[in-house]
Structure 1
Amino acid sequence: MNFIEFLQNLMSQVPLLVQPLIVAAAAAIPFLESELASVLGVWAGLNPFIAAGAAMAGNFASVFVVVVFGARIRAMIIARRARRSELVVAGAAAGGTEVLDEPLAEPKPESKGVRRFKKFLVRFGVPGASILGPLAIPTQFTSALLVSTGVSKSWVLLWQGVAIFLWTTMTTLIATGVLTLVTG
């Protein structure tokens, strides 16, 4: 039995209404994302439109969560730094010395994917980095990086949605074509 038949047999054992939910759940996982989840959905026997739609929804849902929580975390960090700098300035004005709660850690070296992503961001802006980002790192990581640099939540969500739509559509079309060639 080949891989496609295995997937189709496996998916046929699951109720019809649950099948898109499986694709959506797979799409929420970084590195699988909507691109691979839609391919697996199509090869498992789902209608390409349903597989692509479920994959896009699952991937966008995970990106939405990352963006919302990432923006909150960034806001908390900025507020903490502002409070800390106010304390340092007040302490220096009173003739005290600066005391930090924690030692400053050496920054970790950036990974190859993060460096490539930052190049995309500088060169092409948020739209280009969002669309080209999946070539370097998963969309969830791309979203977190964009939000951490101060890009607005709505702008990140808009362009991540566009990128998810484009990449998922492309891979779903390719998967459908390959399936047609393989199965005749």
Structure 2
Amino acid sequence: MSNPVSDLVLGFQGLVADVPDLVQPLIVALAGAVPFIEGEGAAAIGIIGGIPPVVAALAGAVGNLLCVAVVVLVTSRVRTAVTTRRGGGVQPVSARREKFEKAYHRYGTPGVSLLGPLLLPTQFTAAALTSTGVPPLRVLAWQAAAIALWTTVITVLALGLIRFAA
């Protein structure tokens, strides 16, 4: 049985190999916008595809951040519309939402943003933060930091593995 994420990764790797060099970073950026692949996975796809590591990392991170920015802006507008319509009233809280809010109160926006990619895609974390009322610019700033951190870490590890295997 195939895994949809690994199928996507293989598809992006094949696409990177099949397009002209100038287009390859755009494919990596597109891969970075996909949840569960993200900037770090996209950077690894680009490096394996022969793109210079810095270019692959930047392309993956930019693709991931652009997608997260769209999610934050849409979630912020939806939250504003819902709270305006309800008059800011109290909403029932699901078990999943309660768990997220507990983590948020314990770690704050920085902690949830930086540790979130270990459990969830940045798009999901950004939407959850924004929907709880964290200002969109604060969410974007911390998500950008998380994307830069994790993309850099995975890029360095991928380079180390490639050099070790060579």
Q: Which amino acid aligns with 2:49?
A: A
Q: Tell me the SS of whatever aligns to 1:110.
A: helix
- 2:110 maps to which of 112, 127, 130: 127
Q: TM-score, normalised by structure 1?
A: 0.76
**Is structure 2 residue 79 aligned with structure 1 residue 110?**
no
Cα shift at 1:9: 7.5
Q: Which amino acid aligns with 2:139?
A: V
Q: Which amino acid aligns with 1:80?
A: R
> 2:139 aligns to what?
156
Q: Which amino acid aligns with 2:106?
A: R
Q: Tell me the SS of whatever aligns to 2:96.
A: coil
**C-alpha spacing 1:9/1:160, structure 2 compared with 1 (3 Å):** closer
Answer yes or no: is the 8 Å Cα contact 2:16–2:28 preserved in 1.
no
- 2:84 maps to which of 76, 79, 85: 79
For 1:15-70, what per-residue CA distance to the aligned partner results, in whole angstroms no more than 9, with x for missing partners? 11110011110110111111111111111111000000000000000000000010
What is the CA–CA distance in structure 1 between the aligned matches of 2:64 and 2:29, rounded to whole Å? 7
> 1:14 aligns to what?
19
Unaligned runs of 5+ in 2: 1-11
**Is structure 2 residue 90 aligned with structure 1 residue 146?**
no
For 1:113-163, what per-residue CA distance to the aligned partner results, in whole angstroms no more than 9, with x for missing partners? x83x54432212101110001112110000000000000011000000000
Answer yes or no: is the 8 Å Cα contact 2:25–2:55 preserved in 1.
yes
What is the CA–CA distance in structure 2 between the aligned matches of 1:152 and 1:181, rounded to whole Å? 43
Bigger mean CA offset, 50-59 vs 9-18: 9-18
> 2:66 aligns to what?
61
Answer yes or no: is the 8 Å Cα contact 1:35–1:168 preserved in 2.
yes
Unaligned runs of 5+ in 1: 1-6, 86-104
Answer yes or no: is the 8 Å Cα contact 1:146–1:156 preserved in 2.
yes
Answer yes or no: is the 8 Å Cα contact 1:120–1:132 preserved in 2.
no
What is the CA–CA distance in structure 1 between the aligned matches of 2:16 and 2:122, rounded to whole Å? 26
Cα shift at 1:12: 3.9
What is the CA–CA distance in structure 2 between the aligned matches of 1:24 and 1:173, rounded to whole Å? 18
Cα shift at 1:14: 1.1
**C-alpha spacing 1:49/1:69, structure 2 compared with 1 (3 Å):** same
Q: Which one has a bigger Cα radius of gyration?
A: 1
